[in-house]
Amino acid sequence: MKAVVTVIGMDKPGIVAGVSTVLSNNKVNITDISQSYAGEFFTMIMVVDFEQSKATLKEVTDQLKKAGEKIGIFVSVQHEDIFKAMHRI
């Protein structure tokens, strides 16, 4: 199963580390990553693969949101199928 992780916030040290640590601890693999900066704003989109993970999407989502709150960023996680369905034109 794949999912899309979206991160938005003010740029600061530790954002990538905080998010990737949660994913690594749950054996969720990052298969693609894109980051951009607009002045002091930071955005990141990751495609992640749960193939090796024993954690559920909800468990990882909850952990990422908690980590995001500590860092001061917004984290969203969507199942790949839902993400594709929402972005069809």
* Cα R_g (the chain), whole angstroms: 13
Tokens at 71, concatenated = 């860092």
Terminal C-alpha separation, the chain: 23
The pLDDT tens digits for 63-76 are 999 999 999 999 99
24-48, pLDDT tens digit by residue?
999 999 999 999 998 899 999 999 9
pLDDT digits (tens, 9 = 90+) for 44-60: 999 999 999 999 999 99
* CATH code where residue 68 lies: 3.30.70.260
Q: Which domain holds residue 75?
A: 2-86
Task: Give 38's Cβ-side CA count (13 Å radius).
Answer: 5
Residue 86 clears pLDDT 80, i.e. is over it: no
Pairing of the two strands 73-79 and 2-10:
antiparallel
| Contact assessment for residue 18 and residue 67, using Cβ atoms and an 8 Å cutoff | yes
- Tally of domains within the chain: 1
